[in-house]
Structure 1
Amino acid sequence: MIVTPRYTIIEDGAINKIEEILKKLNLKNPLVITGKNTKKYCRFFYDIVYYDEILNNLEIELKKYTAYDCVIGIGGGRSIDTGKYLAYKLGIPFISVPTTASNDGIASPIVSIRQPSFMVDAPIAIIADTEIIKKSPRRLLSAGMGDIVSNITAVLDWKLAYKEKGEKYSESSAIFSKTIAKELISYVLNSDLSEYHNKLVKALVGSGIAIAIANSSRPASGSEHLFSHALDKLKEEYNLNINSLHGEQCGIGTIMMSYLHEKENKKLSGLHEKIKMSLKKVDAPTTAKELGFDEDIIIEALTMAHKIRNRWTILRDGLSREEARKLAEETGVI
């Protein structure tokens, strides 16, 4: 069964409508999952648990939480993902209350608290307070752009897998996901960004819903996400003290992967430049240096990305070191 949000509120002061939404859904005893920095937004008398208390023990003692009839995640990606995971384990609804907009996890049925990420149920409601989100660190809002432009290459990869491997493909989900990204890129390139935070939240929610409808991360995750996951693996392997964000990494991955698609399809000419310009406009990184990585790590990530998971993309059976270097150089990433 496909679960998509029954209620979506995206406006200033939305957080004050939590009680109203609980009443509409006939939910009376929520457990709130949040972080130490976002607890200040929890101005109510529900029970609160910090996400790290749960993450430190993934074999959750579910007995402790059986009295609750829903979970509310208030905060960034960790709070939302942990809440989603706990709600899924308990078999109860999840309400997403993001305090920033750095990735589409705020509305998707995907949990990324460990790799590979996995599917759970999508939130039953999304309450996005744009007043709070606007005040969140600018860098997180820039990273959100990186996660949205990913939809472009994700959909191109999905269609490629359909053509070359006969993979199941949904034209409607693909068009929906791609349109969300194209509209945000167009807005960013042709405006003063005064409504950027608002447009970004709506795009990320739409992207999460596209995933829920397709019942697959395909509409929003392709070769660019494989590259990002490869970088995460190398950060861990080499113990690199680099605090690059998921969306930032995906943005740079999208620049390179869209260039590979351009080389095979003349209709896409200039796509990677347009993506790069939109990322620059919101101050998202577009080079390895801005991301904090040495050239060699970028090249290594490109050569191993196709092995991260069993997913057919423009990387096909992988790039050689020479091909990877050439790709990174020609797109200006290194």
Structure 2
Amino acid sequence: DLWEKFKDEFDDDCIVHFVKTLEYDEIMANIEKLPKFEAVIGMGGGQAVDYAKTVAWKTHMPLYQVPTSIATNAVFGHRAGLRFNSVVRYVGYVEPVAVYVDYDVIQSGPKALNRSGVCDVLCYNNSMFDWKYAAGQGKCEEKWPYDQEMVDEVKEVYQSVVDNLDDIYELNEKGIRVLTEGLRWGGAAFHNNGWNPRPIEGSDHFL
């Protein structure tokens, strides 16, 4: 249903694939059949962005993501949630070149679904206490020692969402931006490379 809305934005020679499965073996078989291409664009919900991550990871092609919902931080995460005999595993590693969020597209989607994205940010509150408790019990992994500077950063991100819950509930442009920035932080938390969303001049989009 989305392709009819967006197809005129793409060149005629683009390869269109509608996601029907997230089973790893089936995806690998589909990738083998693909003709030559230069980039991967994941447009849609969670299945589309995870499928796109997998194709980009396996082919070493640049990845661009265009989420049509902000219900989770999956579009910013580096691993894909794939199925192995129906059992979900998070595999691979790929960083998107850019993530494009269109306010109009998000606002036209189910409000309850998009509002639920706050859950992926509000849980940061628990993570701060869990990490500190683990450190106090000597249970932190060596590569992830307790880092007060990072805790302060996540507290700031968490608080920005709490302070703007009314805008998020309304899904106005401010609410979408605040929630998306919160999701971006969590999705990239294990590899924060300073990538920040910025406005695209003269448009209703940001990346």
Normalising TM by the smaller chain, what interval?
0.7 to 0.9
Q: What's the offset of the Cα at 1:107? A: 1.1
Task: For structure 1, list consecutive stretches of 5 or more residues without a partner in the other structure.
Answer: 1-36, 215-334
SS at match of 1:177: helix
1:63/1:100 Cα in 2 relative to 1: closer, same or farther (>3 Å)? same
Give the whole-Å Cα distance in 1 for the aligned partners of 2:92 and 2:151: 18
Q: What's the offset of the Cα at 1:192? A: 7.8
Give the whole-Å Cα distance in 2 for the aligned partners of 1:126 and 1:192: 22
Task: For structure 2, list consecutive stretches of 5 or more residues without a partner in the other structure.
Answer: 194-207
Question: Any idea what the Cα deviations from partners look like across 1:24-50, whole Å, max 9, x if unmatched?
Answer: xxxxxxxxxxxxx32232331221101
Question: Any idea what the Cα deviations from partners look like across 1:155-184, whole Å, max 9, x if unmatched?
Answer: 322333333213223624443333212210
| Aligned twin of 1:42 | 7
| Aligned twin of 1:207 | 186
| Aligned twin of 2:133 | 160
1:140/1:211 Cα in 2 relative to 1: closer, same or farther (>3 Å)? farther
SS at match of 2:100: strand
| Aligned twin of 1:295 | none
1:69/1:160 Cα in 2 relative to 1: closer, same or farther (>3 Å)? farther
SS at match of 2:118: helix
Cα RMSD over matched residues? 2.6
Number of residue pairs the alignment of both structures matches: 178
| Aligned twin of 1:89 | 58
Q: What's the offset of the Cα at 1:61? A: 4.2
| Aligned twin of 2:67 | 98
TM-score by length of 1: 0.48
1:124/1:182 Cα in 2 relative to 1: closer, same or farther (>3 Å)? same
Q: What's the offset of the Cα at 1:113? A: 3.0
Question: Any idea what the Cα deviations from partners look like across 1:96-131, whole Å, max 9, x if unmatched?
Answer: 111110011111212223423235112121111112
1:99/1:61 Cα in 2 relative to 1: closer, same or farther (>3 Å)? closer
Q: What's the offset of the Cα at 1:93? A: 1.7
More helix by share: 1
Residues 110 and 119, structure 1, Cα contact 8 Å, conserved in 2: yes
SS at match of 1:42: helix
Give the whole-Å Cα distance in 1 for the aligned partners of 2:164 and 2:73: 18
| Aligned twin of 1:169 | 145
Give the whole-Å Cα distance in 1 for the aligned partners of 2:89 and 2:169: 38
Q: Which of structures 1 and 2 has the bigger CA Rg?
A: 1
Residues 78 and 113, structure 1, Cα contact 8 Å, conserved in 2: no
| Aligned twin of 1:253 | none
Q: What's the offset of the Cα at 1:66? A: 5.7
1:207/1:78 Cα in 2 relative to 1: closer, same or farther (>3 Å)? same
Which of these residues, 181, 188, 195, is aligned with residue 158 of structure 2? 181
SS at match of 1:155: helix
SS at match of 1:116: strand
Percentage of pairs with the same residue: 21
Residues 97 and 127, structure 1, Cα contact 8 Å, conserved in 2: yes
| Aligned twin of 1:198 | 177
TM-score by length of 2: 0.74
SS at match of 1:199: helix
| Aligned twin of 2:115 | 142
Give the whole-Å Cα distance in 2 for the aligned partners of 1:136 and 1:206: 23
